[in-house]
Amino acid sequence: MSAASDVIIVGGGLMGSSAALFLRGHGMSVTLLETDLIGRQASGTNFGNVRRQGRALHQLPLANRALAIWRKSRELLGADVEYLQSGHIRVCYRERPELVGAMEDYADKARHEGLDLELLTGNALRAKFPFFGADVLAGSYSAMDGHANPRLAAPAFARAAQRMGATVHENTKIVDAQKVGEDFLVTAEDGRTFRAPILLITAGAWGNALSSQFGEPVPIVPKGPNMSVTEPVPYAIHPAVGVMTPLEEETVYFRQVARGNIVLGGSTRGPSYPDQYRAYVLPQNTLSQLKQIRRLAPALGKLNIIRVWSGIEGYLPDSQPVMGPSATTSGLYYAFGFSGAGFQIGPGVGETMAEVIAKGATDIPMEPYQIERFAEVE
């Protein structure tokens, strides 16, 4: 016999877990299904940036909503996910002075969306952030941004959802989903079935495998982030730091946690294999990352790397997620394909999707995320 609820969510990362929590807040019964363990994939292997700046302007309302949730996460979740309003600075290099103008233009437009940025150059930049290397020309500083621990976040949302009455099934690989009459019938690899009139797919890099079953394929590409962490050193670097550049190998970032370790990310992404649930860190990519980190903050080049890791992230051609209702099937909703930038907005995505499902509307602009934009994909 099928287990029944109001909503089935397939994918137990940050999007799915937060959606489960907020749907319960609307009084809807929820079954959350996860192939592995909650938050084990991209939601738990990313950098942990709670960063609004640098996002497409149309994403800022969603990012602002998410930030409000991060700020009250301890009270909301009954758990510490190590959220810290540390500030975030995004810098550019001297060889690309035209990016200073791009920073100024973005700051002017972002201000209208509630994001205040301070532009720093020369002595003012180095007085505030003396750790930057000589190649750094300018920076855009957001005092209200920060970071959190991705390994803690999704599990904390899922536990909070469970306490509110959601049903969570881990180690439940879904092999088939179809609409039968007014309900969706979702089948697990071990033969268990789940039934609900509403289905929300938050399956990350695996989202296309399910959307394709409803005639809505998307050109998602799996990639593995290049992550590492240093030995602990005295806590001295407060903001999260990133680089604005058109070159992937230069796009590095770092943050220091209260325990003293410095988390490094970025540069060339590695291979990932969704069918194997595996992503790999290539030694040459770690060396490239360290080269760029030394350029950004020379003192960090003296530290020892104690661990490296990766995950499986799903990237779409326009770097915008699929989010919202299906164009082919009533009762079907999507939230996946966040292209390596989903952690910060994750709780906002969950709350927004809960609104769309429970109320049929939201104040968050959804047009840029519609799955119809890939309707020509074969």
How confident is the prediction along the chain (378 residues), in pLDDT tens digits per residue?
A: 567 899 999 999 999 999 999 999 999 999 999 999 999 999 999 999 999 999 999 999 999 999 999 999 999 999 999 999 999 999 999 999 999 999 999 999 999 999 999 999 999 999 999 999 999 999 999 999 999 999 999 999 999 999 999 999 999 999 999 999 999 999 999 999 999 999 999 999 999 999 999 999 999 999 999 999 999 999 999 999 999 999 999 999 999 999 999 999 999 999 999 999 999 999 999 999 999 999 999 999 999 999 999 999 999 999 999 999 999 999 999 999 999 999 999 999 999 999 999 999 999 999 999 999 998 644
Whole-angstrom CA distances from 364 to 211, 295, 324, 355 are: 23, 39, 11, 10
Per-residue pLDDT, 3: 72
Within 13 Å of residue 246, how many CA atoms lie on the same side as its CB?
6
Which residue matches tokens 């590409």? 221
Cβ atoms within 10 Å of 378's Cβ, excluding its own? 4
Short-list 253, 219, 257, CA closest to 237? 257
* pLDDT at position 86: 95
> Rounded to an integer, what distance in angstroms lies between the CA atom of residue 216 and that of residue 146?
36
The DSSP secondary structure of 139-176, one letter per residue, reads EEEETT-EE--HHHHHHHHHHHHHHTT-EEE-S--EEE
114: left (phi over 0), alpha (psi -120 to 50) or beta: left
- Hey, what long-range contacts does 97-106 have (CB within 8 A, 24 or more apart)? 97/137, 99/137, 99/138, 99/244, 99/245, 100/137, 100/138, 102/244, 103/138, 103/140, 103/244, 106/53, 106/54, 106/57, 106/140
Torsional sign, CA 197, 203, 206, 208: positive
CATH of 88-143+225-310 given 3.40.640.10, 3.40.50.150, 3.30.360.10, 3.30.9.10: 3.30.9.10
Tokens of 52: 């609004």
pLDDT recorded at residue 70: 98
From the CA atom positions of the chain, what is the Rg in Å?
21
What's the sign of the alpha-carbon dihedral 298, 299, 302, 303? negative
Structural domain boundaries in the chain: 3-48+150-218+317-374, 88-143+225-310
pTM: 0.96
DSSP H or E run through 85: none
45 φ, ψ to 5°? -120, 5
Q: How far is Cα 50 from Cα 147, in angstroms, rounded to an integer?
A: 5
Q: Spell out the CATH class of 3-48+150-218+317-374.
A: alpha beta
Distance, CA of 332 to CA of 184 (rounded, Å): 9
What totals of helices (H) and strands (E) does the chain contain, helices first? 10, 24
